[in-house]
Amino acid sequence: MKALLLKGPRQLELTEMPPAEMGPRQVRVRIRQVGVCGSDYSSIAGKLPFTRFPIVPGHEAAGEVIEAGAETRWSPGARVLLHPILCRRDEAEFARGEVHHSDSTEVLGVVSRNGAYAEEVVVEDYMLRPMTAAMDFEAAAMVEPVAVAVRAVREGAVGPGSRALVLGAGNIGLLAVQVARVFGAARVAVTDVLPERLELAAALGVDKPIDVRAGFPAARLEKQFDAVIDGVATEGTVRDALTACARGGRIVVYGVPAGDITFPLKGAFSKDVRLITSRLYDADFEPAIRLVDEGKLRLKELITHRLRLEEAPPFFARALDGEIKPLKVMISP
């Protein structure tokens, strides 16, 4: 089978690989669409500390069952999407559905298990969810990032009448602003340094797209939001979030920080603000699946590039060199 093998930092190559062996509780899936996550760029650049080489990346995927182990409930031909978190079945966290809190948690295509930048992938039976009739393969492959956005917005306690600010209008940031609106937020704002992303945010219904190329407008935004959702995760953005957060509000950091961050605890204490991290999501994909199935989110407008496997290596090189600024990329093997 053809696959994109990441042999080391910036060494992504189209390779012919033998099909992976399959156990009785595993399923072989023909990949139809796989989305490119922001963490994939970090892995390919050699900047994601969890990445182990060589590895086939890719975890935002949808496809069709080719073959199912004898101890699974799946049948060939089933249209499925991936819940890409691996976790040992004998752990208490697995039984509780808290797969993201297990000591053995890893994401497909990052550490030990080859991912979905390939014609096919072998996964555990519990990692699959059925696609709904309303979904095409692109929409199904978007469920995973939607789940990230749903959890971040929920952790921010966004609900009817809330005022929500999202820092960073990347793929998940633009999903988060839409989820916040679906959850009832009365006012939604987003920051970014790219004008085209702010224009898209406005088209998606954001009340206030905020250009921060000249810096964060702290004086204008001080204490204006009940929830600030940070997808950038730098010391500067966390401080900006604290400034913008109203008394009793919540700061939710879902971005992956590059290193340790000093947090102004005294200022947070004075405003009784909660700082919350939101890493991944649990085993319950249903809220994300439901939002996609019901057409509550505008997903197609986020997809800026569609590639074949063989087009991906030079594309990633250009993206990492800053020649292009893709928002959401879909790869179809």
- Do 10 and 90 fall into the same domain? yes
- Do 6 and 130 fall into the same domain? yes
Rounded Cα–Cα distance for residues 62 and 129 (Å):
9
Burial of 322 (0-12, 13-18, 19+ CB in 10 A): exposed
* DSSP H helical ranges for 110-229: 137-141, 143-155, 171-182, 195-203, 218-221
- Do 134 and 152 fall into the same domain? no
- In a domain, residue 311? The reply is yes
Q: What is the pLDDT of residue 210?
A: 98
- Do 174 and 188 fall into the same domain? yes
Q: What is the pLDDT of residue 303?
A: 98
Of the candidates 71, 184, 160, 116, the one whose C-alpha atom is nearest the C-alpha of residue 330 is 116
- In a domain, residue 227? The reply is yes
Q: What is the pLDDT of residue 49?
A: 87
- Do 15 and 118 fall into the same domain? yes
Question: pLDDT tens digits for 264-321?
Answer: 999 999 999 999 999 999 999 999 999 999 999 999 999 999 999 999 999 999 999 9
- Do 111 and 243 fall into the same domain? no
Question: pLDDT tens digits for 180-238?
Answer: 999 999 999 999 999 999 999 999 999 999 999 999 999 999 999 999 999 999 999 99
**CATH number where 265 lies:** 3.40.50.720
- In a domain, residue 58? The reply is yes
State how many domains the chain has: 2
- Do 231 and 166 fall into the same domain? yes
Of the candidates 225, 203, 201, the one whose C-alpha atom is nearest the C-alpha of residue 211 is 201
- In a domain, residue 96? The reply is yes
Residue 148 φ then ψ, to 5°: -60, -45
Residue 50 has pLDDT above 90, yes or no: no
**CATH number where 58 lies:** 3.90.180.10
CB 188 within 8 A of CB 181: yes
Question: pLDDT tens digits for 153-180?
Answer: 999 999 999 999 999 999 999 999 999 9
- In a domain, residue 289? The reply is no
- Do 35 and 135 fall into the same domain? yes
- Do 214 and 265 fall into the same domain? yes
Both tokens of 12, joined, read 């992504």
- Do 7 and 132 fall into the same domain? yes
How far, in Å, are 9, 45, 111, 156, 181 from residue 153 at the CA level? 33, 29, 27, 5, 10
What is the pairing mode between strands 245-253 and 274-277?
parallel
**Domain coverage including residue 303:** 2-142+299-332
Per the listing, tokens 């509550």 go with 296
- Do 205 and 237 fall into the same domain? yes
- In a domain, residue 47? The reply is yes
Asked whether the bond before 54 is cis by omega within 30 degrees of 0, the reply is yes
CB 68 within 8 A of CB 74: yes
Q: What is the pLDDT of residue 87?
A: 92
Q: What is the mean pLDDT of the chain?
A: 97
- In a domain, residue 191? The reply is yes
Per the listing, tokens 């559905």 go with 97
- Do 152 and 268 fall into the same domain? yes
